Amino acid sequence: MRPITPPDVKTSGGASKMSALPVPISLALEPTKSPPAPRGVGFIPLSEACHRSGKSPENLAWRCRGEWASIGLAAILKPEKGGKACWHVREDADPLFARVKSPWLVAFDWKPVSASQRDEIHRRKRLIDAWMEARIDGFDDGLSERHITAAFVTMCRNEGDVVSRETLFRWLKGFNTRGFAGLTDARRDAQVNDPNREAFVAELKRRYLAPNRRSAAMCYELAVDQWTENGQDVPFDKRRAQQILNDVDRKVKAFHREGPRAYDAKFGKFLRGEYTALESNEMWVSDGHELNVMVRVPGREKPVRPIMIGWFDVRSRKLVGWRIVAGSENSDVILAAFKSGVKAYGMPECVYHDNGEAYDAQALQGQTKRQRQKGGRPQLDMGLFPRLGITVKHSLPYNAKAKIIERFWGTIDQRFTREFATYTGGDTSKKPFDLQSQIDKGNAPDLDEVVERFGYWIEAKYHNHPHGGVDMNGKTPAEVYADNLRQTRPVPDDLLDLELSRRNRVKVGRNGVRANEQEYEAPELDALMGREVDVLTDDTDIGRVQVLDLKGRWICVASSVRRIPKNATRDDLREAMAGVRRDRKRVKEAHQIVLKIADDPTERLRRMAEKKLAAPVPIPQTIKPFRSTLEADVRAIHGAEKLAPRHDDGPPPLVEELVRRMKLRMAGNS
C-alpha cells in the first residue's frame, strides 16, 4: 500500500502553509509530537488496523480521538480509492499494526488444543530455544552451524527426544512465520475447522459417555458404521479416536459412565465436620453394613453374610449400640440396636442417618419417606424419635463421607472380619481365592460365635485403642466419651419396652390383633373388638405383644395364637367346633350363670395335636404271631364276662360251662 501523508492546512489565500499559532509560554505545555515516520511507514484506514490487530473499531476509534490524534499518529483522511473521509492511523502507532509481526504477537487459539497437544507444542518450543542458545555459544567458539546442529541433535537423542536437523529448521520457520500455530501438527491444522470431524468426535463422546460403559474401540466401530451408512467419510482412524477419548476429563468419565454415586465417592467435594465442640451423647450417627464374612445360620443350608446395624457416638467414636442379624436392614433391627444403646448409655439429643427407607420408616420418624418428602407432619405417637423429643438430621444424598461411621466399617474389615477363614473381601477384586474351599470344608463360623467375638473385640480392643485425629488427641473412645459426658438421659426399665418398641396401629378383630404376620389374643381384647389400638412388638420376643389404646394407656399383654396343626383329623375338628357351640351356649345363658371366657377352637385343637404327638408310636410287627387253638375260647370268655351279670357267690353259669369244656379238651390232647 502506498504511504499516505497528511496534507498541509491551506489558508484562505491558497498558500500551502501552516496557520499561525500562538507561541506556548512553557515548553511543558506543548503536546508531545511523534517522531517522523520511518521509511515505508504510512497511514492505513481504521478497518485495516482492526484487521491486523484484531481490535474492535470502537476501541481503535477511541484511541484515535484521544492519544493518537494529539501526537500526529491518527487523522481523518479520505481513502486512497475515494470515498468518505474516515480515521486513518499510522502503522507504527501500535506493534499489532505491523505488516510482519513478531511470533509472540501472532494470535493463537488454545481452546481446541488438547492437553497432550499443548504439551507437545511447549516441548518443541523448548527445543528450539535450546538450539538457538547452543548456536550462539557455538558461534562464539568459532564452530559452524552444521557442527552445532549435529551435536545438538545427538544430545537430544541421548536424552530421549528424537529430532532431526530438518525438523528443527521446519519448527523454527513455522514459529517465526505463524507463531505457536507453526509448531502444531499439519494434520491438526487441516482438521481444526472440519465440521465432519467435529460431528464425528461428538458422536464418539456420546457413545463413550454413557452408562453402558462401552470401550473406546467399540464406540469407534459403532460410530464408523453410522458414518458409513450416511455416506460420510471417517475423519481419522481408531488410534486417534482412542487418544481423543483418553483425553476426556476423568471426572466427566466417572459422572457419565459410572453415575453420580461413583463420582461423589471418587471426586465429590465434602465438608469435614468439627466434632470437638460436641458433647458425648449429643449426636449419634447410624448406618447399616454387610459384614465381609460368611456365617452359618440355623435353618439355612448355605452360609450367608450377616447385616450389622450400628449407632455411633459422633464425639467419641464409640459404638454405643449394635445388632448383627442374618437378614435385611429394616426398622425392627434399627430399633433393637438403638434400644441396646439407650439401655447402656441413655438417650441422645440428636440422631444423624441417611435417607434410606429403613431409616425413613414410620416406626422411627412417625411418617414414611414419601410423606416426609411431600411436607407432611409426623405422628408423634407413632414415631420413636418425635415421641422421645430427639432431633433428626438427614445426610445429603450420595454423601457417605459425611457420616463418621463409614470409616468404622473399614476398621471392622481390616481388624475383625479378616480373622475368619471365610472372609469374603469388599469386592470381587479382594475376594480370597480359597473362599469356596473354606466354605466347603465347613470352616464358616456360626452367627452366634461372630456376635460373641465382636462383642469382645469392640469392648476390649476398639474402645480401648488410642485413636488419631484432631478431635481424639491420641485418646481411646472410652476416655473421650467419659471426658465429654456432661449429662445422661436414662430411660426407666419399666418404660424402656413401652417407649423403644415398634408401634403398629391395628384394629381389634374376633381373633384379637394381628402383627408380625401373626395373631395375638387376650381376654381384655374381647370388649375392644372393632376399635383401633397400638401394638408394641419386640423382635427379641415375638411370642407376645403389648397393647395400648390411642391415648398411650397400657391395656394388656397379648400372646400369639397358633394355627391349626396339619395332623388334625375330622374328629378333632368336630370336637373343637362342639366346644365353640358350648361357648356360644354359655354366652346365651349369661343371665343365669357367671360368664366365662370362651376357649378358642384352634387352641383346643393344638392341645389335642400335642397329646397325639406325645403318645408312643407302635412299632410295626415283622414276626408272624403264634395262633393258639384256645384263642376262640378266650375271646368267648372275655365276651361272656362283659355280658354276663355278676353274682356275689361265684362266677356265672356260662363261664363254668366254658371252663369245663376247656379242661376236657386239654385232657384229650394229653
Question: Cβ atoms within 10 A of the Cβ of 439, count?
Answer: 17
Band (pLDDT 50/70/90 cuts) for residue 13 is: very low
Provide the pLDDT for residue 296. Answer: 93
**Spatial separation of the C-alpha atoms in residues 534 and 238, rounded to whole Å:** 68
Tens-digit pLDDT profile for residues 215-245:
999 999 999 999 988 888 888 888 889 989 9
Compute and round to an integer the Cα radius of gyration of the chain.
Answer: 50
pLDDT of residue 575: 67
The answer to whether 489 touches 388, Cβ cutoff 8 Å, is: no
- pLDDT of 602 above 80: no
Question: From CA 536, how far away is CA 554, in angstroms rounded?
Answer: 10
pLDDT digits (tens, 9 = 90+) for 192-215: 556 778 889 999 999 999 999 999
Instruction: Annotate 456-475 with DSSP letters as a single string.
Output: HHIIIIITTS---STTTTT-
d(Cα 651, Cα 44) in Å, to the nearest integer?
159
Amino acid at 83: G
CB atoms within 10 A of CB 481: 21
Q: What is the pLDDT of residue 1?
A: 42
Rounded to an integer, the average pLDDT of 258-280 is 77
Predicted local distance difference test score (pLDDT) of residue 623: 41
Q: pLDDT-based confidence at 2, cuts 50/70/90?
A: very low
Query: Which amino acid makes up residue 233?
Result: D
Average pLDDT over residues 403-420: 86
How many percent of the chain have pLDDT more than 70? 70
* Least confident range of 125-134, 473-482, 513-522, 595-604: 595-604
**Tens digit of pLDDT for each residue in 73-101?**
888 988 887 888 888 998 888 877 776 55
659: phi then psi, degrees, rounded to nearest 5: -70, -40
Find which of 469-483, 487-501, 654-668 is predicted with most confidence, using mean pLDDT. 469-483
- Can you tell me whether residue 608 is helix, strand or coil? helix
Say which residue the cell 434400644 belongs to: 339
Please report the pLDDT score of residue 553 as a whole number. Answer: 79
**Which segment of 117-126, 367-376, 593-602 scores lowest on mean pLDDT?**
593-602
Q: Average pLDDT in the 483-500 region?
A: 77
Whether the per-residue pLDDT at 398 is higher than 90: the answer is: no
The three cell numbers of residue 559 are 400372646
> How far is 490 from 483, CA to CA, in rounded Å?
18
Query: What is each CA distance from 410 to 291, 335, 380, 425, in whole angstroms?
Result: 10, 24, 36, 11
The predicted pLDDT at position 21 comes to: 43
Report pLDDT for 236: 84
pLDDT tens-digit profile of 295-328? Answer: 999 888 899 999 999 998 988 989 999 999 988 8
Q: For the residues of 209-247, what is the DSSP string, one character each?
A: SSTT---HHHHHHHHHHHHHHTTPPP-S-HHHHHHHHHT
Please provide the average confidence, as pLDDT, over all residues in the chain. Answer: 76
pLDDT confidence bin for 599, thresholds 50/70/90: low
* Amino acid identity, position 3: P
Query: What is the length of the chain?
Result: 670
pLDDT at 252: 92
Give this prediction's pTM: 0.49
Task: Dump pLDDT digits (tens) for 140-195.
Answer: 788 888 888 889 989 988 888 888 888 888 888 888 777 787 787 765 554 455 67
Q: What's residue 621's pLDDT?
A: 42
Task: Report the distance separating Cα 320 and Cα 286, nearest Å.
Answer: 10
- Is the pLDDT at 138 greater than 50? The verdict is yes
Give whichever of 117-121, 132-136, 171-175, 289-293 has the largest mean pLDDT.
Answer: 289-293
pLDDT tens digits, one per residue of 413-464:
999 999 999 999 888 888 899 989 999 999 999 999 999 999 999 999 999 9
- Where is pLDDT greater, at 188 or 256? 256
Enter the C-alpha cell of residue 644. Answer: 354276663
The residues pairing with 520 across neighbouring beta strands, listed in sequence order, are 513, 560
401 touches 273 (CB < 8 A): no
pLDDT of residue 205: 92
- The whole-number pLDDT of residue 394 equals 76
